[in-house]
Chain A
């Protein structure tokens, strides 16, 4: 059970702040692909770390037996929160970046594509979190280097093995789930933002400040 509970108003506000951050990131992605990015309402929940694999499997855009690529990047905004962003994408999404790099389908396994995926994931995680935290305070958010977690595991394997390796630092966590979809180029990806349990009191406090100002 979570020790820190967010009220419905706090959840509602946090979802809205994530929604705004997601919109700004989508705009950058849309420019890169020169295409419209379809957005859905983000989901926000407090989860036990033990449930993380099932949360990922159940809320991912991909079926559990699909081969996925997953990338993790840690972040820290000293004032509010620490945690990590996890990007999950599939082989079609990987193929969708071939034209951007001016490569052919034969180059699908090239290092250049994997490097680009790391860079793209880092940009999405960085942009989304920076835009989220900017709405709370002007402190800079620091990011670690993006790390490729898996390249050919199924989503289920990925959720239970690789991703859950990092769960040691999370007792309970706040999990925000965002989807970016570009229909015309078959680009689909999940972004999971995990805030560690120590971040929850700070986050709650910051949300209360904004809520008070709105009355």
Chain B
């Protein structure tokens, strides 16, 4: 069965770069990639079905990444999450790791950083 991925970022550019990186890296063959431009859009998608992995930005309009993580916790929704964010504060990393996030990638990320994280996460 094809793996599903959810990419959540308010920037079209970033979503395109992440989707391209996923396709280049993955050995999974067919992939279903969904996209959301805010935490709220992502929450709607997650309520329908859970992807195998979600890539999540933190600074977004409407509902940011922190708020989405809170909502997931509140609704007992669990799934593998990788945060990709320009918010590189240590406190930001600590707070999302405390919420069970698998990995954190600083923007802008390099190919080797992406590959190292993907090897660690072992989902795609």
Using a CB–CB cutoff of 8 Å, the interface residues on chain A facing chain B are 9, 12-13, 15-16, 19-24, 26-27, 30, 35-37, 39-41, 135, 211, 214-215
Nearest CB of chain B from residue A166's CB, rounded to whole Å? 29
Q: Chain B contacts of A19 at CB under 8 A? A: 11, 59, 86, 107
Can you list 20 A-B contacts (CB < 8 A)?
A9-B13, A13-B11, A13-B13, A16-B11, A19-B11, A19-B59, A20-B86, A20-B107, A23-B86, A23-B87, A23-B89, A24-B88, A26-B87, A36-B89, A39-B59, A39-B87, A41-B10, A211-B13, A214-B16, A215-B16
Complex interface: chain A residues within 8 A of B88 (CB): 23-24, 27
Structural contact, B14 and A16, CB atoms closer than 8 A:
yes
Distance in angstroms from A44 CB to nearest chain B CB is: 12
Query: A15 is contacted by which of B11, B87, B91, B95 (Cβ under 8 Å)?
Result: B11
The answer on a CB contact under 8 Å between B13 and A12 is: yes
Q: Which A residues are CB-close (under 8 A) to B10? A: 41
Are B91 and A23 interface neighbours, CB within 8 A? no
Measured between beta carbons, the chain A residues less than 8 angstroms from B92 are 36
Number of interface residues of B (CB under 8 A): 22
Q: Answer whether residue B79 sits at the interface, using C-beta atoms and an 8 A cutoff.
A: no
- Which chain A residue lies CB-closest to B20? A214
Name the one of A12, A36, A39, A215 contacting B11, with C-beta atoms under 8 angstroms.
A12
Contact of A23 with B107 in the complex, beta carbons under 8 Å: yes
Q: How long is the Cα–Cα vector from A215 to B91 in the complex, in angstroms?
A: 33
A73: min CB distance to chain B, Å: 22
CA distance A19 to B65 in the complex (A): 14
Q: Is the CB of A214 within 8 A of B61?
A: no
Residues of chain B from 19 to 41 with CB closer than 8 A to chain A in the complex: 20
Assess whether B108 is in contact with A20, with CB atoms less than 8 Å apart: yes
Closest Cβ–Cβ distance, residue B66 to chain A (whole Å): 9
Q: Give the docked Cα–Cα distance between A211 and B91 (Å).
A: 31
Interface string of B91-113 (1 = CB under 8 A from A): 11001000000000001100000
Whole-angstrom distance between the alpha carbons of A12 and B12 in the complex? 7
Chain B residues near A30 (CB-CB < 8 A): 89-91
Which 8 residue pairs across A and B have the least CB separation, nearest first?
A23-B86, A20-B86, A36-B91, A16-B11, A13-B13, A30-B89, A23-B87, A19-B86
